Every structure is written in structure tokens, then in C-alpha cells.
Chain A
Amino acid sequence: MAAYFLRRIGYGVITLLGVLLLLFVLFFAVTDPDDIARKAVGERARPEVYAQWKTNHGYDKPLIINTGATGAGRFTDTLLAEHYRRMLTFDFGRSDADDSPISRRLREGALPSLGITVPLFVMGLVVSVAVALFVAFFRETYIDRVVLVLCMLTMSVAGLLYIIAGQYLVGQLLRWFPISGFDPNPAVVARFLALPVLVGVLSGFGADTRFYRTIFLEEIGRDYVRTARAKGCGDARVMVRHVLRNALIPILTNVVVQIPFLFTGALLLESFFGIPGLGALTVEAIQGNDFSTLRTMVYLGALLFIAGQILTDISYALADPRVRLG
């Protein structure tokens, strides 16, 4: 078991180093640091100001080989080495756009992001799994067909439309929740998160429910279900104790991969609902050519994805002993 975990972690580390190399090519080799500096301090700033800005933001070194240095410094005193050092030690530096420390922005944005993504994830999962179990049980009845129509409807609508329609319908016509906004005060924060969570759950409902229903139907047709029923096991017990448990592997595959992205926020939802989370931060970094923040977000996304993959593998091994033997 330990060897299995170590092997998986080893693969993850190698992938991460590769991602960092790709990031370096995209953000340093393709994008000229001089252009980044010019964009940040303005076209008409003096050369000394450019130079100072580049020094402050760590863009003042040669890319891969420092011909001005000697010994190991030729390779360690470079942008490439600095890039690896900073990312691996989580020293993300300052935003190219407004000079604010990126770590602080991450700290400030993490809670609002989790505030929306965690309830969205949990509620989405619970609702989809529950409805999928329900319709799997009542398969080929009017309930199954009604839910099928609902699922197809929700799958056919673009994500952005959910947001705009949700804001219009729930915020403006029914006036149940604020159209947008955020207040970190725990006493009132739920009022601001309710609508984005509702919209998020609804937009993901169709695809998830259909996926889980398929899994459950596959399990329901298996021999062990017939055996359980033959032994007098009740329907509820069969569905929850046997079908649900045996369907865990594909559910885990779908679920665990999503967990790391809870930390990177919801791009559209945060942007439209005015939630100051990491998703909105990423959108803003893209729009504002804030390369250092964008680099950090891409790196964290990759890191969390790799972590998610490792977690999935571990959860497989825990859920199904055959995996670790394979």
C-alpha cells in the first residue's frame, strides 16, 4: 500500500515539475518581461523606473543561463531557477497589476470562494445523488420521465443564462435574495450565497443526475442486488446499503477530482455575483494582464488537480482493495 502511494506521489511531483516548465515557457519565454514591465508602469515611465519595477518583481534576471555569474550561479541566478524556487516555496511575490502581495490576495479570496464552492459542491452532490437514486428506483415510470425532461432542459441551457435568468427571476421578480453582492459577516453571508449556490446547483443538476442514474441502473442489474432481494432485503436497504456503496468508485472519480477546484473558486458565478473570491481574481488577472497572479492561479490549479488525482487514487485503493493490488 505504501509503495503504491509513494509511486503515485512520485508521478505527481514529476507532472508538477513539468507544469512549472510549461508555465515558464508561457509566462517568461513567450511573454517578454520588458513588455510586462511597460504595461505595469506605463509607456512613458523612465528606464530607471522600469528597471526598479523589474527588480522588485523578479523579472531582472537572465532567462536560463546567467553569463554574468560564475559557478552554480550561472544556473541558479536566473529567471528559471527563481521561478521554480518561488513556486515550490509558495513565495508568489507581488501582483504585476497593483503591487499587492499575491499571498494576501489568496488569503482574502479563499474564504469567499470556499463559501460558494463548498455548499455548491455538497448540495449539488447530495441533490444529484438523491434524485438519481430516486429515479433509478422509479425507473421507467412517470417520475423517471419527468426528471429526464428536467435534466435535458437544464443540460441544454448555457451556464451564463442560468446566472442572468436567476438574477432576474429570483433577485428582481421574486425578490427573495440580493441580485449580487457579498458581506463576510457570518450572520448575513448566507443571503448573498443562496442565489449563486442555487444557480450553480441547477446548472449542474442535469448532467450529474443523468450520470449517477446510469451508474445506479448498472448496479441495480447486477447479481448481488438480485441475491439481496432474494434474501428479503428491503428496497431502501438495497438502494442505500448495496447499490450506492457499490457505485462509489465512479462517483468518487467524479467527485474527488472536483474537490481541489473548490479552492480556485467559481469564475463566472463570482464575477457575476460580485463575490470577491479566487475565481473573480483569476478573471481579473486575465483581463488585466496580471501575469504574476495568473501564473500563481494556474500553478495552484495544476497543483490541486494533481493532488486531486492522487487523492482519487488513494480513495480507490481504500474503497476497492483490488486497485492497490493491480
Chain B
Amino acid sequence: MRSHSAAMALLAALAAGVAAAGCTNNPYPQADRDKKVLYSSFHDAPKTLDPAVAYTTAEHVITGNVYDTLLEYHYLARPYRLIPGLAVSVPKGQDLPDGRQTYRFQLRPGVLFHPDPCFPPDATGRRTREVTAADLAFALARIADPAVNSPVIGSFAQIEGFADFSKRLEDLRRSDKAFAALPIREQYAKAGGIAGVLVHGGHELQIVLSQANAQILYWFAMPFTTPVAWEAVAAYDGKDGRDSFADHAVGTGPYRLALYEKQFRFSLARNELWYGTLSTNSDAPGAVFPTEIDPKDSIEGRIDPAYAGRRLPFVDRVTFYREREGIPQFNKLLEGYYDDGGIIKESFDAVIQNGRLSPAMRARGMRLDVTVEPSIFYVGFNMEDPVVGTPAGERGRKLRQAMSVAVDSRQYLELFLNGRGLPAQTLLPPEIFGYDSSYKNPFRQYDVERARQILADAGYKNGIDAATGNRLKLSFDTSATTAAASLQFEYLANSWRQIGIDVEINATTYNQFQDKVRHGAYQIFSWGWLADFPDPENFLFLLACENARSKNGGPNTASFCNAEFDSLYHQMKYLPNNARRADLIRRMLAILERERPWIELYHLEEFVLSHAWLVNSKPMGISYPAYKYKDVRPELRARLQGEWNAPLRWPLYLVLCAIVALTVPAVRTYYRERL
């Protein structure tokens, strides 16, 4: 009996040892070890892959690679520059005599949709078909379709007949049930299409704008305007158990969606039929690696010059795994199981020391890329409020100026974002036309004494209202209720308390906050904006009166309305980047400097860590994540992963020994007492 127990214990220990010997922390199949697979992670699951609707970063990671666009951003050039994608060239706007403007896009021939069961088989048995200009027109019609609920419907309103088509479609659907039951493509055709979208032959798309607008081209570098196969929209309607088009991407891009379990993982696989693989497109700008390489990019190891002129793409598959929590995601990045990623707040000081990578990270061959995102984070005032807004006249203006001078963006960034941001002087970030690095906003230079003086000039000496003798009390409304957000708002409130203003923070639910905004029942709020395209208009429109939240429900949450600003905005809006536009922007910024509807806090900086085996990875900022330019060196990755992750087995044997040490005397005691 005693020997039997000992044998059992030995067997168990042996089994555990053998099991541990086969253990590794590598989460990927061994078969993929030497393959050109790029590994990345995502936090929020995509909601939709419908290119007319998808708007979040998580969604654009897929749509930006699965769907090709007529134009795209040069991968390496900064400031950002448009190059042809599916289009043969970047079209020049032609001004028409009546003030209208037109653009003609020439579509490359031979572009095919990803093979998909929604297409009937062709002569060779392939289930695909060539993309035509009609597919581009169909995509624009979908954006105009109110039922699609595209978030960018307003951005195309300048296309002639765009709004009319929307309305016609809506009216017909409401009045005619038979019409509403027709397939979508037939509905669009019967509704007469968009007057300003013309298809000439198979490969030319013309758009006519009601007035000149140079910025419209940026929208053709976004997946919203990608060609859409009507067959896919019809086949994947989400009814009777069929897939929804929102979950079933059928594009033309360099990658196709090979696996889509959106709550958990997805995978992009190389599209063997991509237009870039055709011999006729060997010189297409979007199909080869750029030859204009900034020497700084190659010196810093970001870009390998040997890739110049090579055909894209380089990696065979890009696989994404969902990481809901930052700590495990970051640890896996350090283990080498993700090829690149951001830095979590908890580990920032261990990774970045004195503004550069720590020696430990450098020893691993890691690279740090820092880019200022085309963003602005700000504190806004409700300009319709009688105390802080326009109705308060000069007094209100000085109050806003004093509050602006009292906020130290640099300290705010250090405290809450590990310094990952550039203190903002205006709402325009670097790389955007109109940005002036030498400009110092006099009301954004932190100076408590000066803030107190301006506040006294406003009639609130030490925060006491001279008219009533009461302390000035303001409310800061927010929908962020987390502890971290509360601390940030408390910091801002303290900045104002030090000059005597009592600011109360009112944190409510999102819906309650929206309700307050809708009814104008707020004084101060905090918000952020990430630009859609690299143009000053995409920032300045946030303060145009036509976009005021109180009047039109627009994104101008401050409801700032200034006739001079609006006049300059309309003059600047559609101009190309030239000296006149620069002058208009300067004058607009001067108005904002004086009026202070916002306290500009910072432009966010993105810190990206990349492993040595990831090649040609340059942060893209405003453009879309383009995996076709990136490459990996799997042999180096496998070697380093092996070195960094060799399992440590002796602790297991130690634990087993401890268990045996605890158990054996007990068993011996048991038998001794029984004898």
C-alpha cells in the first residue's frame, strides 16, 4: 500500500513535469513561426465594416486595407500628400463658368472585387467581377441614402443633387411601398441617381460641385468612397440568417478579410487578385513602395531604403487579437508576440526615460516613434451662457481670457498623460496648413498673477463679483465619470480656484450630459477632435456659426457665433493652400485668441513601440493604416522570441517537491498510527 502511494505520487510528479516541458507562453501556432504574418491587437470590437458607415479607428484598420480608394495618402511624405490609388491620377478641379466645379476620376482598368459567393462565376469559374465607375457612383448613392445613416452625409452635400437625391429617395420610400420593396440598386436608379455624379463609360466618374471645393478630394482617400459591389449589398442583407454587409467586407484592397470573429480576432490575407499585382500597374503609385525616402526615416531605422520601388504588399497575413485590458496586451508586446503597439501608462516610466527609450528597451532592439496626431483637446465655454458667454460682453471675454491663462497645459500633460502631448497655442496642430510653430498665444502662457489681473479687470477681483459681492461660481459639465477623468477635471477646477473662481464639477451620464448640451444648460465642458483630413477647414469648422450646437445641432458645442470669423471661414473654406488662405487663417486665429471660446489644451502625441523585425513602419497619423507597406522578418522574430521566452521549469519542480514534502510525512503518520 505504501509503495503504491509513492508510485502514484511519482507518476503525478512525472506527468506534471512532462506537461510543463511542453508548455510555452507563445500564443500562436508553431506552423506560423516562419511565415510572413504581422501580429497586432485591438481593444474595441468593430461595429460595422460597411464602408459608408465605418468611422472608428478599429473599423478603419479593416476597411482601410480591404477597401481600396480612388486616392490615398503618400505613405512617407509629410505634410500629407495625395497620390492616385484606384484612379489613374489625382484629378484637377475644372471651374465651370457658373461658379460650379467638376472633377473627373479615371478608374484603372482590370480592378477586381475580392472573390465572393455574392458574384456569379465568370468564364474561368472565379466569382468576382471588374470594378466599374458605376460601383463608385453606387457608393456615393449609399452615402446619400438616409437609411444607410452614413456619418459623413453632410460632407458630400456640395455634390450637385446630393441632398435632392436623399430627399427623393426618402419620399418615394414613404409614399410607395412597392418602391421600398425593390432591391436597393433599383431604388437608386428609379429615384434618378445623384445629378452631380456622372458615369462616362466603364471607367470614368465625374462629380459636379455646386461651388469650388479643393478639399473634396480628401474624401476620395477615405474608405467611405470606395467602390461598392451592389451584389454584396443585395446578398448580405442580414435577413433570414444571411450575413449583414456590415460584417461581410467585399472590397478590392491588397488584403481580403479572411477571418472575422469581431469580438475576438480577425485576419487579413493577401489578395492575389489585387490591381497592384497586374503587370499593367507596375508603376502605379499605390502599388509600389515610394522611392522618395526621408533620410531621417532610414537613419532612425524606420524605413529600409532597399524597399524603394518594390511591389506591394510584403506580408501575407495580418492577424489581430482582441485585448480588452492594456496590461496583458503590453506584456505580450514586450514578449515579442505583438509586432508593435502603444505604451500603457503603468509602464511608461520603465519604457521611456528622459524622453527616449530606456536602455532595456533599446537592448531588445525596439524602436520608438513619436508623432503628433492631427487632434485638438480643449475646454470649451457655452458662448450663449449669460456669465461666461457672449451675452456677458467684454466682462465675459476677460473672464474667459483669465481662465485660459490660469491653465497650465504642460503640467496637465505631465500629470495625466505622461507628457504625451504638445501644449496647444491654437486649434491647429503641426502638419496642418496654417500652423505656425513660432506663434505663442498670449492667453495660453500660464501665468497665475496675470490671470488674476485679467480677472480683476473683468470685475471679479479675487473671484468676487464686484456687482453682487458674491464669489463667482461656475459649473463644469461632463459625461466622464471615471476616477481618472474626475482627477483631470479636478485639476482644471483647481487651476481656476487658485485665481478665486469656484468651479463645481457636474459629472453625469452620457445621455444626461447630451440633454444638457441640447438645452444649453451648461457653462464649461471638455472635448476633443481628431481630424478627418489634413486641412485647416477640418478644425476651423468646429467654431463656425452654421455648425453651432444650439442652432443646428452641429459640432460647434461652444455655439460660438462671430460674424467676422464666419465671413473669413467662408472665404477660406474651399481655397487651395496659398498665401491668401494663410492670411485668412491668421485672422481667424486672431479672433479666437481674443474671444477665447475654447481653452486649447494640447495636441495628442502617439508613442508607438516597434520590434526590430518590423520593417517600414511609419506612424500614419491622419491617413489610414496601410499594412501593404509594412514587412516582417520572421526568422529574426522567431529567434528573439525564443531567446526571450524560454520557459523556466525549476520552479515547477520546486512546487512539486514542496507538495511531496508536505504529503509524505502525513501519509507516513497515517500508516504509523494505523499499525
Contacts from A to B (Cβ < 8 Å)? 32, 35, 38-39, 41-46, 48-49, 52, 97-100, 105, 108-109, 134, 137-138, 141, 143, 146, 164, 167-168, 171-183, 188, 191-192, 194, 234-235, 271-274, 276, 280-281, 283-284, 289
Bound: A205/B31 CA distance, A: 38
- 17 example contacts (A-B, Cβ-Cβ < 8 A) are as follows A44-B554, A49-B147, A98-B48, A99-B238, A109-B263, A138-B669, A143-B666, A174-B652, A175-B646, A178-B26, A179-B27, A179-B331, A183-B29, A191-B23, A272-B325, A274-B264, A276-B261
Answer whether residue B201 sits at the interface, using C-beta atoms and an 8 A cutoff: no
| Contact pick for A45, options B149, B323, B647, CB 8 Å | B149
Smallest CB–CB gap between B584 and chain A, Å? Answer: 27
Do B27 and A178 touch (CB < 8 A)? yes
B335 in contact with A167 (CB, 8 Å): no
Which 3 A/B pairs are nearest by Cβ-Cβ distance? A276-B264, A178-B27, A180-B328
The minimal Cβ–Cβ distance linking B181 to chain A, given in whole angstroms, is: 15
Q: Evaluate contact between B648 and A44: CB separation under 8 angstroms.
A: no
Chain B residues, Cβ within 8 Å of A141: 666, 669
Q: Using CB atoms, name the residue of chain A closest to B246.
A: A99
B3 at the binding interface (Cβ < 8 Å): no
Q: Give the distance in Å from the alpha carbon of A188 to the alpha carbon of B645 in the complex.
A: 18
- With A39-B510, A143-B662 already in contact, 12 other A-B pairs whose C-beta atoms are closer than 8 Å: A35-B511, A43-B514, A48-B170, A99-B47, A171-B25, A171-B328, A173-B648, A175-B645, A178-B25, A180-B329, A188-B29, A284-B324
Chain A positions within 8 Å of B669 at CB level:
138, 141
A137 proximity list for chain B (CB < 8 A): 670
Taking CB atoms and an 8 Å cut-off, the chain B residues in 626-675 that contact chain A are 645-648, 651-652, 662, 666, 669-670, 674
* B549-562 interface code vs A (CB 8 A; 1 in, 0 out): 00001100000000
Q: Whole-angstrom distance from the CB of B78 to the nearest CB of chain A? A: 32
Question: When chains A and B are docked, how far (Å) is the Cα of A171 from the Cα of B331?
Answer: 9
Q: Is the CB of B651 within 8 A of A174?
A: yes
Q: Is the CB of B327 within 8 A of A167?
A: yes
Q: How far is it, in angstroms, between the C-alpha of A280 and the C-alpha of B263 when the chains are bound?
A: 9
CA A126 – CA B325 in complex, angstroms?
Answer: 31
Q: What distance in Å separates the Cβ of A282 from its nearest Cβ neighbour in chain B?
A: 12
Highest count of chain A CB atoms <10 Å: which of B26, B146, B332, B670: B332
Minimum CB distance partner of A134 in chain B? B666
Q: Are B321 and A274 in contact (CB under 8 A)?
A: yes
Docked complex Cα distance between A44 and B554 (Å): 8
Note all chain A residues with C-beta closer than 8 A to B329: 180
Chain B 513-536 near chain A by CB (<8 Å), digits 1 or 0: 011000000000000000000000
Q: Could you tell me if A180 and B323 are in contact, using CB atoms closer than 8 angstroms?
A: yes
The CA of A143 and the CA of B659, in the complex, are separated in Å by 11
| CA distance in complex: A239, B147 (Å) | 69
Q: How far is the CA of A164 from the CA of B510 in the complex (A)?
A: 31
Residue B498 is within 8 A (CB to CB) of chain A in the complex: no
Q: Say whether, besides A43-B514, A177-B23, A172 and B324 are in contact (CB < 8 Å).
A: no
For the complex, is B6 an interface residue (Cβ under 8 Å from A)? no
A179 and B648 contact, CB distance less than 8 A: no
B325 engages A271 (CB within 8 Å) = yes
Is B185 interfacial (CB 8 A cutoff)? Answer: no
Task: Report how far A66 CA is from B60 CA in the complex, Å.
Answer: 43
- Chain B residues contacting A174 (CB-CB under 8 Å) are 647-648, 651-652
- CB neighbours (8 Å) of B674 from chain A are 234-235
A-side contacts of B334, CB under 8 Å: 172
CB of B327 within 8 A of CB of A105, answer no
Q: Mark B318-352, 1 if CB is under 8 A from A, else 0.
A: 00011111011101101101000000000000000
Q: A32 touching B331 by the CB < 8 A rule? A: no
What residues of chain B lie closer than 8 Å to A43, measured between beta carbons?
514, 553
Chain B residues with CB under 8 A of A49: 146-147, 149
Instruction: Known contacts A175-B646, A180-B323; decide if A52 and B48 are in contact (CB<8 Å).
Output: no
Q: Complex formed: what's the CA distance from A41 to B25 in Å?
A: 41
Q: How far is the CB of B666 from chain A (nearest CB, A)?
A: 6
- Tell which of A52, A100, A188, A191 touches B247, judged by Cβ atoms closer than 8 Å: A100
Task: Please tell me if the beta carbons of A280 and B324 are within 8 angstroms of each other in the complex.
Answer: yes
Max count, chain A CB within 10 A of own CB: residue among B170, B323, B324 = B324
- The yes or no answer to B244 lying at the interface (CB within 8 A) is yes
Contact indicator A167/B27 (Cβ below 8 Å): no
Does B13 reach chain A (CB closer than 8 Å)?
Answer: no
When A42-B149, A271-B324, A274-B322 are in contact, do A175 and B263 touch as well, CB less than 8 Å? no
Q: Which A residues touch B337, using CB under 8 A? A: 178
B 17-62 contacts with A by CB, 8 A: 20, 23-27, 29, 45, 47-48
How many angstroms between the C-alpha atoms of A191 and B666 in the bound complex?
33
Interface centre among B262, B264, B651 (most CB of A within 10 A): B264
* A44 nearest in chain B by CB position: B553
**Which residues from B are CB-within-8-Å of A109?**
263
Q: Does B151 contact A (CB under 8 A)?
A: yes
Interface contact B511-A276, CB-CB below 8 Å = no
CB contacts (< 8 Å) of A45 on chain B: these are 149
- Complex interface bits, B64-86 against A, C-beta within 8 A gives 1, otherwise 0: 00000000000000000000000
Chain B, range 243-276, C-beta contacts under 8 Å to A: 244, 246-247, 261-264
A46 touches B553 (CB 8 A): no
Instruction: List chain B residues, Cβ under 8 A from A182.
Output: 264
Chain B residues closer than 8 Å to A194, beta-carbon distance: 23
Asked whether A39 lies within 8 Å of B511 as measured between CB atoms, the reply is yes
Residues of A within 8 A of B554 (CB): 44
Determine the distance from Cα of A30 to Cα of B360 in the docked complex, in whole angstroms: 53
B332 to chain A, nearest CB (A): 5
Chain A residues whose CB sits within 8 angstroms of the CB of B332 once the complex forms: 178-181
* A273 neighbours in B (Cβ, 8 Å): 328
Question: Contact at A108–B263, with CB atoms within 8 Å?
Answer: yes
Cα-based distance from A52 to B173 in the complex (angstroms):
12
Task: Let me know if B510 and A105 touch, CB within 8 A.
Answer: no
Q: Which of B47, B264, B514 contacts A97 (CB 8 A)?
A: B47
Q: In the complex the two chains form, what is the Cα distance from A308 to B383 in whole Å?
A: 57
Specify which chain A residues have a CB less than 8 angstroms from the CB of B323 in the assembled complex: 180, 274
Which residues of chain B are within 8 angstroms of A44 by Cβ–Cβ distance? 151, 154, 553-554
A32 close to B511 (CB less than 8 A): yes
- Chain A residues whose C-beta falls within 8 Å of the C-beta of B325 in the assembled complex: 180, 271-272
B651 contacts which chain A residues (CB < 8 A)?
Answer: 174
List A contacts of B321 (CB < 8 A): 181, 274
Most buried by B among A41, A171, A188, A281: A171
How far, in angstroms, from A45 to B154 measured CA to CA in the complex? 11
Q: Collect the chain B residues with CB atoms within 8 Å of residue A175's CB.
A: 23-25, 335, 645-648
User: Closest Cβ of chain B: how far from A142's Cβ, in Å?
Assistant: 8
CA–CA, A281 and B264, complex, Å: 11
Which listed residue (B27, B149, B261) contacts A192, Cβ 8 A? B27
Bitwise interface map of B from 293 to 331 toward A, beta carbon under 8 Å scored 1, else 0: 000000000000000000000000000011111011101
Residues of B within 8 A of A180 (CB): 27, 323, 325, 328-329, 332
B47 touches A98 (CB 8 A): yes
Contact of A38 among B20, B264, B511, B647 (CB under 8 A): B511
The 8 A CB mask of B443-457 against A (1 = contact, 0 = none) is 000000000000000
Pair A46/B263 contact, Cβ less than 8 Å:
no
Residues of A within 8 A of B666 (CB): 134, 138, 141, 143
Complexed CA–CA distance, A146 and B666 (Å): 12
Q: Check A276 against B25 for contact (C-beta < 8 Å).
A: no
A26 to chain B, nearest CB (A): 14
CA distance A138 to B188 in the complex (A): 81
- The one of B24, B147, B328 in contact with A272, judged by C-beta atoms closer than 8 angstroms, is B328
B16 to chain A, nearest CB (A): 11
Q: State whether B25 touches A274 (Cβ < 8 A).
A: no
Contacts of B23 in A (CB 8 A): 175-177, 191, 194
Q: A179-B332, A179-B335 are in contact. Are A46 and B146 (CB under 8 A)?
A: yes
CB-defined interface of B224-240 with A at 8 Å, one 1/0 digit per residue?
Answer: 00000000000000100
Q: Which B-chain residue is minimally distant from A190 (CB atoms)?
A: B19
Distance (Å) between the CB of A20 and the closest chain B CB?
24
Residues of B within 8 A of A172 (CB): 25, 331, 334-335
